[in-house]
């Protein structure tokens, strides 16, 4: 057994420690159960292993872990991110084990929805539990290693108190960690008592100067350009964070780190990329053109956006032609398309006013369905491919609200996109509300779910063959996904009679537990 001397080891399970064949969207397959193909094949598609060096350090690692690693190194600690298969190499020196994740127990969307609908645990939950039950974790605890966990899904440990105790987790850090992590680690190294839970609120969020530059490459070149969001949607925890813009020099430094590791592309990360140095919720052309020109000049590969708001897309194009100029003048010769995640959430004006009144800003909430459709048309015309989300079961939702969402989906059919429905999970300002559960499904919900399935199947084959996975070296992944799609299409046709019976009221929502589960998973 080699011993590098790293006293602080940072890691996560395989569903996170992967670059997903260089295609970020493939990683979302880990949020569902393995359906139609063997479990090993599902994992190979969603989360293949990455290259590591002789110490087990991965060539790419999740961005959040890279930030923690960078902060600890800057503060003088011997810390490194280690692939989960290579933790044994550092057992002799390890004193603190830090574990991060986006969805530890699959309680977040969309994992929780697939779990409730199919009755099968998602592979990310299975993978994480298997990791925590592995011999190396048990040996670390026997040796006295302190375990600290955190990340966007830190809140999920409050729903798994038995496992928290069983696995010997010392501290859960919930929130941005830069200001608190070094002091906590020092206490762990000194053998001092650690707090069970640390919540980092807005008052303790790091300033721009306290956010470090990553030291190693991030998964698929993801680089943060800003933190926080000004829209204040009640279901979102990001709105609780103050808005901060990373300087262009900071962004380019992190891109250089990725380039040196051989990562040729970049994912610009923000809750709304088009609000980089915006005037409130109104995108400004100058900073966006400057950002994309600088990144395009430096990066030889593709550029993607992590998230963008539909209102910002509409405003940016209709007022400043920002979308067409970025995709035309700046990126036209570089790439055929640009991928992004967007949030539709609901097609109901009434519900939008209650839950997300600023989601449509600078347009009024009454215009929300129009904003959505206009933004989809703009993206379609400019070769931007969105992966969109809906939320079913929002507090105060009525059947008519769901019908309005279904009607909006019909209008979105002509636009190239993937649309994923999610069940409401209590987060943000709504964290004390009830979860939406399968027993609460109404015929209207099933209608929306079937429409999103049909929409995504309609566009998926084109995206797989002609847009997203057309590279020659991805032919095996393309074949496996087409195999999966063929299975889904067959299952969808078998589901149709059941779904129609539910929509027509011949089967009550309560009977889904008895009759629906076998049909959904058959």
How far is residue 78's CA from residue 64's CA, in Å, rounded to a whole number?
Answer: 18
Question: Residue 517's Cα: distance from chain center in Å?
Answer: 27
Give me the domains of the chain, ranges plus CATH numbers.
8-204 (3.40.50.2300), 217-436 (3.80.30.20)
Residues 303 and 295 sit within 8 Å (Cβ to Cβ) = yes
Mean of the per-residue pLDDT values of the chain: 89
Confidence of residue 1 (pLDDT cuts 50, 70, 90): very low
What is the per-residue pLDDT for 503? 45
SS3 readout for 173-218? EECCCCCCHHHHHHHHHCCCCCCCEEECCHHHCCCHHHCCCCCCCE
User: b/e per residue, 308-332, with b = 16+ CB within 10 A?
Assistant: bbbbbbbbbbeebebbebbbeebbe
How far is residue 39's CA from residue 43's CA, in Å, rounded to a whole number?
Answer: 6
Residues 48-79: tens digit of each pLDDT: 999 999 999 999 999 999 999 999 999 999 99
Confidence of residue 518 (pLDDT cuts 50, 70, 90): very low
SS3 readout for 30-59? HHCCCCCCCHHHHHHHHCCCCCECCCCCEC
Supply the DSSP string of 266-288, one letter for each residue: EEEE-S-GGGTT-BTTB--HHHH
Whether the bond into 297 is cis, omega within 30 of 0 = no
Please state the pTM of the whole predicted model: 0.90
Tell me which of 430 and 305 has the higher pLDDT. 305
Task: Give mean pLDDT, residues 16-26.
Answer: 90
What is the per-residue pLDDT for 494? 63
Cross-strand partners of 389: 343, 420
3-state secondary structure of 406: helix
User: b/e per residue, 372-406, with b = 16+ CB within 10 A?
Assistant: bbbbbbbbbebbbbbbbbbbbbbeebeeebbebbb
């Amino acid at each position: 057994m080699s011993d590098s001397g790293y006293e602080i080891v940072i890691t996560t399970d395989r569903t996170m420690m992967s670059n997903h064949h260089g295609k970020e969207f493939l990683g979302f397959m880990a949020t569902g159960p393995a359906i139609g193909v063997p479990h090993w094949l599902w994992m190979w598609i969603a989360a293949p292993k990455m290259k590591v060096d002789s110490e087990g350090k991965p060539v790419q690692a999740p961005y959040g872990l890279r930030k923690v690693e960078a902060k600890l190194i800057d503060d003088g600690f011997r810390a490194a991110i280690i692939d989960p298969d290579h933790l044994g190499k550092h057992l002799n020196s390890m004193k603190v084990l830090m574990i991060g994740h986006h969805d530890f127990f699959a309680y977040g969307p969309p994992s929780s929805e697939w779990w409730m609908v199919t009755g099968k645990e998602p592979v990310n939950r299975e993978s994480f539990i298997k990791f925590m039950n592995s011999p190396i974790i048990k040996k670390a605890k026997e040796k006295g290693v302190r375990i600290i966990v955190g990340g966007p899904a830190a809140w999920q440990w409050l729903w798994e108190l038995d496992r928290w105790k069983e696995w010997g987790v010392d501290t859960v850090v919930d929130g941005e960690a830069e200001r608190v992590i070094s002091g906590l680690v020092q206490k762990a190294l000194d053998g001092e008592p650690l707090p069970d839970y640390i919540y980092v609120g807005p008052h303790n969020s790091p300033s721009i100067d306290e956010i470090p530059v990553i030291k190693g490459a991030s998964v698929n070149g993801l680089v943060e350009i800003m933190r926080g969001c000004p829209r204040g949607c009640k279901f979102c925890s990001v709105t609780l964070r103050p808005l901060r813009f990373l300087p262009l020099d900071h962004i380019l430094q992190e891109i250089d780190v990725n380039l040196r590791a051989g990562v040729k592309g970049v994912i610009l990360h923000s809750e709304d990329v088009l609000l980089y140095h915006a005037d409130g919720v109104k995108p400004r052309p100058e900073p966006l053109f400057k950002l994309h020109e600088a990144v395009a000049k430096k990066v030889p590969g593709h550029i993607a956006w992590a998230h963008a708001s539909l209102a910002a897309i509409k405003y940016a194009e209709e007022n400043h032609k920002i979308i067409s100029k970025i995709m035309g003048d700046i990126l036209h010769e570089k790439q055929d398309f640009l991928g992004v995640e967007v949030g539709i959430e609901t097609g109901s004006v009434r519900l939008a006013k209650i839950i997300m009144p600023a989601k449509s800003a600078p347009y009024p909430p009454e215009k929300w369905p129009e904003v959505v459709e206009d933004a989809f048309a703009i993206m379609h015309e400019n070769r931007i491919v969105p992966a969109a989300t809906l939320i079913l079961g929002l507090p105060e939702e009525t059947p008519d609200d769901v019908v309005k969402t279904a009607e909006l989906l019909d209008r979105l059919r002509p636009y190239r996109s993937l649309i994923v429905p999610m069940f409401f999970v209590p987060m943000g300002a709504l964290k004390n509300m009830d979860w939406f559960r399968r027993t609460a499904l109404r015929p209207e919900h099933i209608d929306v779910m079937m429409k999103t399935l049909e929409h995504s199947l309609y566009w998926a084959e084109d995206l797989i063959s002609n847009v997203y996975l057309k590279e020659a070296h991805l032919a095996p992944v393309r074949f496996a996904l087409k195999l999966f799609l063929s299975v889904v299409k067959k299952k969808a046709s078998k589901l149709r009679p059941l779904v129609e019976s539910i929509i027509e009221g011949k089967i009550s929502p309560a009977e889904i537990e008895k009759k629906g589960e076998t049909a959904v998973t058959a």
